[in-house]
Amino acid sequence: MATRNKSAKTAAKGPRVEVKNEIRNERKSGSKPNRRDNGTIQTAKGKLGVMIPGMGAVATTFVAGVEAIRKGLAKPIGSLTQMGTVRLGKRTDGRSPKIKEFVPLAGLDDLVFTGWDIFEDNMYEAASNAGVLDQRLLDQLKPFLSSVTPRPAVFDHNYVKKIDGPNVKKGKTKMDLAEQLRDDIRDFKKTSGASRLVTMWCGSTESYIAAGEAHQSVKSFEKALRENDEMIAPSMVYAYASMMEGVPFANGAPNLTVDLPVMLELSRKNEAPICGKDFKTGQTLMKTVLAPAFKARMLGLNGWFSTNILGNRDGEVLDDPGSFKTKEESKLSVLEHILQPDLYPELYGDMYHKVRINYYPPRGDNKEGWDNIDIFGWLGYPMQIKVDFLCRDSILAAPIVLDLVLLMDLAKRCSELRGLGIQEWLSFYFKSPMTAPGLYPEHDLFIQLMKLKNTLRHLKGEELITHLGLEYYD
Ligand SMILES: NC(=O)c1ccc[n+]([C@@H]2O[C@H](COP(=O)([O-])OP(=O)(O)OC[C@H]3O[C@@H](n4cnc5c(N)ncnc54)[C@H](O)[C@@H]3O)[C@@H](O)[C@H]2O)c1
């Protein structure tokens, strides 16, 4: 399918003393003490429990990666929270602490894991099947990975047509299933000794569903749960269960899941932050780098043809038209929002945008994303750009999962963020970022990065960076 444009608050709950701890941390990291923290941020004390519906390629690459890094076998390449810095003050100040030293994040040693899947494989078996990481590395991590076993899933074949598995919960109604998930959450918290939890959806892409009556309020959603309404997909049952337990929920797939009025209501009420949708990994990452460059230089766009071949289970699931439509919606919206054809009709008013995903088993997780981009310049002269990204899907996704887990936990501990609902400052990680109703999403990768870092500066009472810079010439 293709698109062608015609025109183109909450009370501060954390104790004050914890803020002082953070100031101390900041001093240690070489940055000056801040002027005033905005609200309070509770310290990241104790274990952080990571709960993952969908223990497939992305989830296992993430968990195995964390364990490999903890053992000193590898580095957290691609993770902003682990490797990134944040500049504070003027360019001449020389203050650029690491993000993980600037704000209080959980340490990797404090992460504990559980998950749900329709298959019975533990994380070692699932990672071996996914074939993303080297078997020798997985063997070194075997005792740990084998200990993470999947809890029975809430699953319905009608929402993911290409797969079926035996490890599935039974219940009379979807509300019963939600209750079973809530029991799982409480059980994990107790048995793991975690002081805090985060849910990270890494499950398959579900069939396309448009928001309907059942999704408009908590009342109508709960009625629909009790009546087994088909408008409620399994991912929504996990989201509901998490939020009822006050647990933040991040959505790595393009399913609506938490992008619904009911979830926003629940999230705000129970101070369980939400964000999504769809990890921004390969082709869309490139799109959100290149398109802003064309717009910055006022270069026109006639067409953008994107095609992918991939052979993992995700590719197989996306071979179903229902699941593909969900993904397609997520991938298509990007150009429209970045290029703003309404504002620049001569440049972007008649662009043709097409996205294809082709299941091709020999490639496994090593996706190839091709882009043919037809642009035009001065006096309308045409030019072409070809991008051929031979990427590794789950290698790009795993550090995003890590960052989201740590930053969603931060949001939950932060008095200014936890009651907001949608965490738009995490748009950086998503193809189809969630925003407040009526607000268009920001897709430009570098604006998203600035938004994320400025949010951290704001939380710590540091000056926001505007890049004005006139003061250097006074
Ligand atoms: N890898 C990337 O670059 C990337 C980028 C963006 C989005 N995503 C999305 O992330 C998700 C995971 O990708 P993947 O490559 O790990 O896929 P995968 O197929 O390897 O893993 C998904 C797992 O989810 C399980 N599952 C499906 N429905 C479930 C349910 N209701 N409850 C529990 N488990 C369930 C499946 O059995 C499978 O093991 C997909 O939705 C994919 O579209 C991935």
Condensed to tens digits (0 to 9), the pLDDT of residues 80-124 reads 999 999 999 999 999 999 999 999 999 999 999 999 999 999 999
Q: How far is the CA of 203 from the centre of ligand 1 (A)?
A: 4
Q: How far is the CA of 439 from the centre of ligand 1 (A)?
A: 28
Q: How far is the CA of 458 from the centre of ligand 1 (A)?
A: 34
The backbone region for 54, taken as left when phi is positive above 0, alpha when psi lies in -120 to 50, beta otherwise, is left
- What letter would DSSP give residue 204? P
CA distance 17 to 37: 12
Q: What is the mean pLDDT of the chain?
A: 90
Phi, psi of 353 (to 5 degrees): -125, 120
Instruction: Give yes or no for a contact between 214 and 231, defined as CB atoms under 8 angstroms apart.
Output: yes
3-state class of 432 per DSSP? Answer: coil
Q: How far is the CA of 58 from the centre of ligand 1 (A)?
A: 7
pLDDT above 50 for 29: no
pLDDT above 80 for 37: no
Q: State the pTM of this model.
A: 0.91
Is residue 78 within 6 Å of ligand 1 at its C-beta?
Answer: no
Residue 11 pLDDT: 34
| For the chain, percent of residues with pLDDT exceeding 70 | 92
Q: How far is the CA of 385 from the centre of ligand 1 (A)?
A: 31
Mutate to test the pocket of ligand 1, among 314, 320, 428 (most ligand atoms within 8 A of CB): 314
Q: What is the mean pLDDT of residues 9-20?
A: 36
pLDDT above 60 for 50: yes
Is residue 206 within 6 Å of ligand 1 at its C-beta?
Answer: no
Mutate to test the pocket of ligand 1, among 51, 52, 58, 279 (most ligand atoms within 8 A of CB): 58
Q: What is the DSSP track for 124-156?
A: HHHHHHHT-S-HHHHHHTHHHHHT--EEEB---
Residue 47 pLDDT: 98
Residue 161 pLDDT: 85
Q: What is the mean pLDDT of residues 37-55?
A: 91
Residue 394 pLDDT: 94
Condensed to tens digits (0 to 9), the pLDDT of residues 125-176 reads 999 999 999 999 999 999 999 999 999 999 999 889 888 899 999 999 999 9
Residue 349 pLDDT: 94
Q: How far is the CA of 312 from the centre of ligand 1 (A)?
A: 10
